């Protein structure tokens, strides 16, 4: 992938998402311009950090698939792999995954976030990854929790805290000096931290969507999630790929009157941290 491919990649991805919506009985919704702008900024950022992991499949001059793989110390991440609906089931997805895996051939661990597409699930589970089915938390907060104490807005000095929490939870920070999380924040997400003795953690969110949450204890994670619920107000909530390892999140969501339904999955392999309490980022896992 090059920076000249960014617009074509976004167009191909939107076509893939629209086709999946229709397959699952949903009418695709228009994508706001600001979402396309954020997608383009994210791709350009990932091209800067992991140029060897950003890949496109082309037929003639047309982009028909793409993958983004990231390396963070010994951890390989695959936040994106999409194939245009007109080119699916022809082996392009497998070839993209093989090329992305080659980028992380020496990595000791791996994480993938997958949609509910059965073809994607089959591709990843037949490539040595363990499936952790997920749930989607949605709806509006009908029973707002009390505002938790000791949680404050995060700042530049708090990315050392996020790195320490990440190393305990997932085994590897999100980039040197929290560079991935800093980018997410600078792209418009809100950032809050808890630093109270052994209870430490952070959450980033945009509108009603949790972008990522990690903490050292279930109690800290619950407080951070409640903080997000309070901040969300009347926004529609969306938390994707909540696995069975995150019972703290499931029970906290139920307490707030939210709904759970099947949605997304995480797939892992190799030497990872406990991956809990943790709500993974679709951008940086």
Here the CATH number for the domain that contains residue 58 is: 3.40.630.30
Q: Is 88 helix (H, G, I), strand (E, B) or coil?
A: coil
Domain with 55, as residue range(s), is 3-107
Is-contact 228 235, C-beta < 8 A? no
pLDDT at 184: 96
Do 146 and 98 lie in a common domain?
no
Is residue 116 pLDDT above 70, yes or no? yes
- What is the average pLDDT score of the chain? 92
**How many angstroms separate the CA atoms of 150 and 38, rounded?**
31
**How many angstroms separate the CA atoms of 252 and 241, rounded?**
15
pLDDT at 3: 93
CA 72 to chain centre: 15
Do 157 and 256 lie in a common domain?
yes
CA 167 to chain centre: 17
Q: Other C-beta atoms within 10 Å of 220: how many? A: 27
pLDDT tens figures, 207-244: 999 999 999 999 999 999 999 999 999 999 999 999 99
pTM for this prediction: 0.93
Do 84 and 148 lie in a common domain?
no
pLDDT at 22: 67
pLDDT tens figures, 75-102: 999 999 988 877 777 899 999 999 999 9
Do 89 and 146 lie in a common domain?
no
Provide the number of structural domains found in the chain.
2
Do 142 and 250 lie in a common domain?
yes
Do 142 and 88 lie in a common domain?
no
* Residue 78 DSSP symbol: E
In a domain, 66, yes or no: yes
Indicate the residue among 53, 86, 107 that finishes a domain: 107
In a domain, 209, yes or no: yes
In a domain, 122, yes or no: no
**Residue of 80, 132, 97 whose CA lies nearest to 268:** 132
pLDDT at 87: 76
62 compared with 167, residue with greater pLDDT: 167
């Amino acid at each position: 992938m090059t920076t000249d491919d960014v617009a074509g990649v976004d167009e191909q991805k939107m076509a893939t998402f629209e086709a999946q919506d229709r397959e699952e009985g949903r009418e695709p919704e228009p994508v706001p311009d600001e979402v396309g702008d954020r997608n383009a900024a994210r791709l350009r950022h990932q091209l800067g950090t992991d140029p060897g992991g950003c890949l496109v499949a082309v037929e003639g001059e047309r982009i028909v698939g793409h993958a983004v793989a990231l390396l963070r110390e010994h951890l390989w991440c695959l936040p994106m792999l999409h194939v245009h609906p007109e080119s699916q089931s022809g082996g392009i997805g497998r070839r993209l995954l093989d090329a992305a895996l080659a980028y992380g051939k020496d990595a000791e661990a791996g994480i993938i976030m997958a949609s509910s597409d059965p073809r994607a699930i089959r591709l990843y589970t037949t490539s040595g990854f363990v499936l952790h089915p997920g749930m989607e938390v949605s709806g509006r907060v009908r029973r707002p929790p009390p505002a938790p104490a000791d949680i404050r807005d995060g700042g530049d000095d708090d990315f050392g805290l996020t790195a320490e929490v990440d190393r305990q939870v997932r085994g590897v920070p999100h980039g040197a000096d929290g560079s991935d999380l800093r980018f997410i924040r600078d792209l418009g997400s809100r950032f809050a931290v808890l630093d109270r003795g052994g209870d430490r953690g952070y959450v980033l969110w945009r509108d009603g969507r949790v972008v990522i949450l990690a903490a050292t204890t279930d109690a800290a994670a619950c407080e951070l999630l409640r903080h997000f619920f309070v901040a969300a107000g009347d926004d529609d909530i969306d938390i994707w790929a909540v696995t069975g390892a995150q019972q703290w999140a499931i029970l906290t969501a139920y307490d707030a009157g939210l709904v759970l339904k099947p949605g997304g999955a995480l797939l892992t392999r190799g030497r990872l941290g406990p991956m809990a309490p943790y709500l993974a980022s679709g951008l940086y896992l």
